[in-house]
Amino acid sequence: MKTSLNFKDADGFYEQLLDAHAGLSPQQSELLNARLILLLANQVGDAQVLRECVEAAARLPEPPAE
């Protein structure tokens, strides 16, 4: 599993992701995220790497409450 920055234009991707969510309801936004996760997982294609990514994401602390 790669944990260091591994793609160019991370800010551009983040902006594209935010734009894709613009105007969506919370439910539509969740569905977009689910579809994107499945598409990206298919691109990775390695079950062990995906398992490591899920485990790493689950360990991340939750953001502070506002």
User: What residue type is 3 in one-letter code?
Assistant: T
pLDDT of residue 51: 95
pLDDT of residue 10: 87
For residue 1, which of 41, 33, 30 has the smallest C-alpha distance?
41
pLDDT of residue 4: 85
pLDDT of residue 37: 96
Signed CA dihedral, 46, 48, 51, 55: sign only: negative
pLDDT of residue 47: 95
Render each residue's pLDDT in the chain as its tens digit; 66 residues: 888 888 889 899 999 999 999 999 999 999 999 999 999 999 999 999 999 999 998 987 777 777
